[in-house]
Amino acid sequence: MSGRFITFEGPDGSGKSTHLALAAEWLGGRGVEVLATREPGGTPLGQLVRRAFLDSPWGRPDGGVEALLVFAARRQHLAEVIDPALAAGRWVLCDRFTDSTLAYQGSGRGESLARLAELDRWATGSRRPDLTLLFDLPATAARERSHSAGRLSRARGINRLDVEDLEFYERVRACYLRLAAAEKERFRVIDSTGSRAATAGRVREALAGLLEAVA
């Protein structure tokens, strides 16, 4: 079976990380060799960037600095982890990729989308996943979930993104939906307003279509 690159996108609190783990387990049970990874992260360099990105001891970087950091980590992530796994026939499930940068640093922080696209061409060759699952829910619900006691406990407290205001969450969501509308073949929008079981069922349905395509 050939490798496939699948990204899980959505605002903080949308459930994407939880459902990535569930999807990895589900695919593994069907004989698919899976690698689960995340951004920023996935490599030693990526972990350093993640620390600077989410809880910087050096102050709050602006959107341009955030973008430069995350694209540097992304280039290393592709070279060190993602591309070798795909070449070996594994399915790579990645928690965030370039769509997150467009949504957060672009629409959220107000950085130029044209400039971010230029950085993406340099860092990734404008790489696009085979499938992107976008976990969607209203901005108010996403922000409430990101501040839930359970999530804060798992994350060991509040990071910089958790304290963003509702308008920031709304800009991020609107950008994600625009991206999905522009690339309907790549995106599957997953309604994550319901129960975990209902959302997991929608994820499995989307993945089953990809399994059939490569069978």
**Does residue 83 surpass a pLDDT of 80?**
yes
Q: What is the mean pLDDT of the chain?
A: 90
Please state, in angstroms and as integers, the Cα–Cα distance from residue 120 to each residue in 110, 159, 213, following that order.
17, 25, 28
Q: Return phi, psi of residue 194, to 5°.
A: -90, -155
User: Which amino acid, residue 207?
Assistant: L
Which residues, at least 6 apart from 33, have a Cβ–Cβ distance to it below 8 Å? 1, 88, 89, 90, 91
**Does residue 44 surpass a pLDDT of 60?**
yes
Q: Containing H/E element for 158?
A: none
Task: State the average pLDDT over residues 10-19.
Answer: 93
Q: What gap in Å lies between CA 190 and CA 85, rounded to an integer?
A: 26
Q: What gap in Å lies between CA 65 and CA 83, rounded to an integer?
A: 26
Please state, in angstroms and as integers, the Cα–Cα distance from residue 127 to each residue in 3, 6, 13, following that order.
15, 12, 26
**Does residue 52 surpass a pLDDT of 90?**
no
Please state, in angstroms and as integers, the Cα–Cα distance from residue 162 to each residue in 155, 157, 175, 198, following that order.
10, 9, 18, 25
Contact 21, 150 (CB under 8 A): no
Contact 123, 72 (CB under 8 A): yes
Q: What gap in Å lies between CA 178 and CA 133, rounded to an integer?
A: 14
**Does residue 162 surpass a pLDDT of 80?**
no
**Does residue 163 surpass a pLDDT of 70?**
no
Query: pTM value?
Result: 0.91
pLDDT band of 208, cuts 50, 70, 90: very high
